Amino acid sequence: MKFFALPKSAVRLTAVVFVAVIYYSAAKLGLLLVSLPGNVTPVWPPAGIALAAILRLGYGV
């Protein structure tokens, strides 16, 4: 059985899409933590996700 390697661009695109979906989901979750409507949220989980993605995957994300 032969396995074909994905091109680097496809792997990078998959990583970017995955991070974007997780970031969006975390943003929706973070907006549920708003104490008063229209105010800022005390915790912003996407910031941690973005930092982890940059540290793990590099600036190309």
| Cα 17 to the center of its chain, rounded Å | 8
Cβ-based burial of 22 (10 A; exposed 0-12, middle 13-18, buried ≥19): middle
Please give the pLDDT value at position 19.
Answer: 94
Domain ranges of the chain: 8-57
Please give the pLDDT value at position 41.
Answer: 80
Please give the pLDDT value at position 52.
Answer: 94
Please give the pLDDT value at position 21.
Answer: 97
Please give the pLDDT value at position 55.
Answer: 94
Tens digit of pLDDT per residue, the chain (61 long)?
A: 677 777 888 888 999 999 999 999 999 988 888 777 777 787 888 999 999 999 998 887 7
